[in-house]
């Protein structure tokens, strides 16, 4: 007669650990697919296909963010896979974190901080090079980076030359919990402030012009400014709240792990939406940049259409000229692009 199978003493916690990890990995992977489409696929909102004239610095920045996102998603998938496989072999392994899941926290920071910096730089230009926003962002960036390093360093150790992570029971102590909550809350606060600052500056520009076409462009810019911070701030706040309310399980990672991919998609969506914001009927090869343009971009007036030019508006960040044949845009880096109208 066969011996009865012993009950798994850890089965009761599987749902609050594997469930959030599984669904957060699915969400992060799906968002990574969207980021890949936004980066190089052909279509209306895809960066390298429709903006080949952007500066090398901007293209390199986008490539770096996509690469960091790739690393982040790869670490997440590898960590979750190893975690599940280890638990199938030894149920007690559910109490030990996988190193890849610890390192992905640092990889997420390499996406969120530069993306926030991109939008802070945009605020810096729009506000007439006011240094308040860059200084505040620099302070929180240092905290975020140091916090991520401390979190990873304290959660990893070596045993016989093999890198291992601490147990999940240790991750619930006040050091890890307070560090994670403060980092997520600070990131959410920065995203909200970025959205508010951008909206305020754009409303100022909107009230300064009476031309319908310029107002329409600014209305679209305001919509994207709000969307810039709303999704990242929402996920960061939900993750910090879930960790505060349920510190003994991993429900918070349902909102925390996808944050890296959300930041990457937010950046790409803002870059790819430039033609939509201008109201172009189709996307052409447009070299205008709303931020981080090449300092060596040409500003030769000979490249502009002279016949019938009417200056519509002047704002701190955009100069729009319209003719019966073409529209010329001059962006913050003083690079100019022309697109034929119907």
Q: Check residue 52 and give its pLDDT.
A: 86
- Please state the rounded mean pLDDT for residues 30-40: 89
Q: Do the beta carbons of residue 337 and residue 287 sit within 8 Å?
A: yes
Q: Check residue 73 and give its pLDDT.
A: 96
Q: What is the pTM of this model?
A: 0.75
CA distance 342 to 340: 7
Could you list the beta-strand ranges (E) of the chain: 156-159, 162-165, 310-314, 319-322, 326-330, 336-340
Q: Three-state DSSP class for 158? A: strand
Q: Do the beta carbons of residue 192 and residue 135 sit within 8 Å?
A: no
122-136, 137-151, 276-290, 296-310: least confident range: 296-310
CB atoms closer than 10 angstroms to residue 41 = 14
- Please state the rounded mean pLDDT for residues 20-44: 86
């Amino acid at each position: 007669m066969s011996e009865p199978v012993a009950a798994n003493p850890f089965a009761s916690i599987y749902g609050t650990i594997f469930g959030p990890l599984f669904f957060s990995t699915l969400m992060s992977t799906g968002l990574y697919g969207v980021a890949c489409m936004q980066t190089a696929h052909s279509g209306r909102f895809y960066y390298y296909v429709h903006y080949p004239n952007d500066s090398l610095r901007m293209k390199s920045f986008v490539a770096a963010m996509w690469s960091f996102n790739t690393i982040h998603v790869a670490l997440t998938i590898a960590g979750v896979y190893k975690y599940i496989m280890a638990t199938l072999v030894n149920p007690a392994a559910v109490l030990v974190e996988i190193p890849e899941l610890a390192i992905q926290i640092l990889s997420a920071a390499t996406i969120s901080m530069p993306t926030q910096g991109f939008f802070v730089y945009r605020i810096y230009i729009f506000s007439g090079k006011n240094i308040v926003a860059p200084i505040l962002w620099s302070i929180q960036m240092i905290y975020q980076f140091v916090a991520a390093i401390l979190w990873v360093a304290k959660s990893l150790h070596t045993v016989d030359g093999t890198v291992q992570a601490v147990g999940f029971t240790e991750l619930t102590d006040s050091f890890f919990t307070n560090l994670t909550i403060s980092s997520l809350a600070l990131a959410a606060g920065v995203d909200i402030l970025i959205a508010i600052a951008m909206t305020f500056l754009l409303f100022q520009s909107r009230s300064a012009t009476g031309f319908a076409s310029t107002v329409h462009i600014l209305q679209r810019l305001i919509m994207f400014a709000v969307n810039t911070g709303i999704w990242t701030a929402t996920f960061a706040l939900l993750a910090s709240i879930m960790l505060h309310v349920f510190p003994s399980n991993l429900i918070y990672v349902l909102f925390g792990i996808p944050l890296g991919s959300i930041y990457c998609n937010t950046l790409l969506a803002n870059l790819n939406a430039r033609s939509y914001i201008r109201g172009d009927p189709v996307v052409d090869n447009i070299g205008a940049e709303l931020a981080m343009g090449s300092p060596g971009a040409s500003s030769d007036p000979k490249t502009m259409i002279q016949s019938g030019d009417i200056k519509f508006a002047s704002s701190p960040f955009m100069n729009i000229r319209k003719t019966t044949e073409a529209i010329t845009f001059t962006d913050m880096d003083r690079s100019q692009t022309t697109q034929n109208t119907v």
